[in-house]
Amino acid sequence: MSFFRKIQALGWALDANGKPASRFGGPMIIAHRGASDHAQENTLPAFELATRFGADMWELDVRNTADGIPVISHDDNLERVFGVDATISSLTQNQLQALENVHVATLEEAIILADHLDTGLYIEIKGEGASLTTLKLLQEKFFGFAALGSFIPDYLADLAECDCPYPLSVLVGPDHDPFELANAAHADAIHLCWERASDRPDQLLNDALVERARAEDLPIILWHEERPEIIRKIMQKDVIGVCSNRPELLVPYANSPARPSGFPKGPEVVCHRGINKLAPENSLEAARLVFEQGFDWLELDVHQTADNHLVVIHDGDLDRTTNGSGPIASKTLSELRALDAGSWFSDQYAGTQIPTLAEMVDLAKVWNKRIYIEIKQADPKLVLDLVHEKGFLDHCFFWSFEWSQIETLRQLEPKANIMARTIDYPSLDALFETANPAIVEINISEEIKDEIDRIRARGAKSMLCYMGQDTAIMERIISLAPDMVNLDNPHLWKETWHRSLLALGGKTLST
């Protein structure tokens, strides 16, 4: 039975051409060991994160414990991931669970989570005997949204002899013939692991190879890819799936360097404290993730150190987001740089430093992006001097809870772009008379009638603010058609925007 007949029989969602249906159209987004660039590989948190950020399936590695329990780990030895010199194949499941600071998930746990999140499992068989224990468990759990793969043809041939109802994929390194391996494994698909084969592995996927695969009824799955310029190429190929440690890069969006959607862009997106669900808030990594996905604005918070440097951190003290304590204003820059500002978020970011405002501006300039600067506790002149020094005045706007700081900033630089919030004024007229902003923020919880049109009539931009995760509210924001949106979950906006435009035939409400 072919790959496509198998997935139809298993009840996979299919597109109009009978291929696996991605949430975003095109090839399936397969998160390699979960969102493994952002969380510990092959763990339940990495899998859950992957689904939140666009994955249709999780690629995971399965091997058996000494007592035959299928568990999830790429390596048999635990040293690389957990720092423990012990092998899974020599330990019973109980012994494995008893190890301190070792958290190896079982396949059963992954199946339960995948079923709950409506996400598929692309299971690579790693160890002897894991083929049949995996098949048995999938069938016991009545889990149909799964495919099985391996570099070892014999593992797949064993499954084929059992009339395995799940599609079988042979993994192929750059020095092997994919069709010879597919024949030896009785595989239903070929998975090309060519990420290191050249600087341009997409060029190795030539027309002749694709045509032969089509003729032999062997759909193609591609290697894990994180380079935006390569992702852009391979997502347009005739393949059914692409793996990545960073599934968010494979989600289509108008300005995405990796996967531009072709849809209208819509409102400018402001990312609150960066992509703070993947990296520590207000970190350089959280900022880089904003720009890599094609979003427009980074929102950040500025404090002044004891030696008059400007640093980016939200709270006035260090306790919540670093391993330090006490007020930021009492610390020098060198003292702050010595702190760990990442471990509170995850072990992945241990050693992350508190960035300076100058570093953030430099990063934005590299990407030709813009910044919303919220002044927390800092001298407005110091902030303005840095912005002028960097030639960044036209690429940022300012706001502060302490409005006197904004008044000082405007006195120093009348051309500075100021933001004001409707919630702080009795009326829109009062807001413009007092603040005369370039941008007006409206919280989505406020009553919104004709404010957006009235703001535009005054020559300013409207910005709707929503810090939640309800996609129905995001759909309402889309219907209101603001100029900008300020979001804590821009990844959900990206998916909601794509889904809404699909429903509208690729047109926005304003087109």
Q: Which residues are catalytic?
A: 272, 314
> What are the beta bridge partners of residue 439?
419, 461
Return the residue matching tokens 């999780």. Answer: 58
Question: What's the farthest any 2 CA atoms get from each other in the chain?
Answer: 79
Cβ neighbors of 140 (< 8 A, separation 6 or more) are none
User: 303 phi and psi, to 5 degrees?
Assistant: -125, 160
Return the residue matching tokens 């110091």. Answer: 382
- Stated length of the chain: 511
The span from the CA of 411 to the CA of 421, in Å, is 20
Closest CA to 287 of 231, 228, 357: 357
Task: Write the DSSP symbol of residue 370.
Answer: E
In this structure, are residues 364 and 370 in contact, taking their beta carbons and an 8 Å threshold? yes
Task: Write the DSSP symbol of residue 4.
Answer: H
Closest CA to 402 of 430, 378, 386: 378
The dihedral built from the CA positions of residue 132, 134, 139 and 144, taken in this order, carries a sign that is: negative
The span from the CA of 153 to the CA of 470, in Å, is 45
Task: Write the DSSP symbol of residue 327.
Answer: B
The dihedral built from the CA positions of residue 424, 272, 268 and 375, taken in this order, carries a sign that is: positive
The span from the CA of 445 to the CA of 320, in Å, is 28
Cite the DSSP H helix spans in 338-419. Answer: 357-367, 380-389, 403-412
In this structure, are residues 344 and 320 in contact, taking their beta carbons and an 8 Å threshold? yes
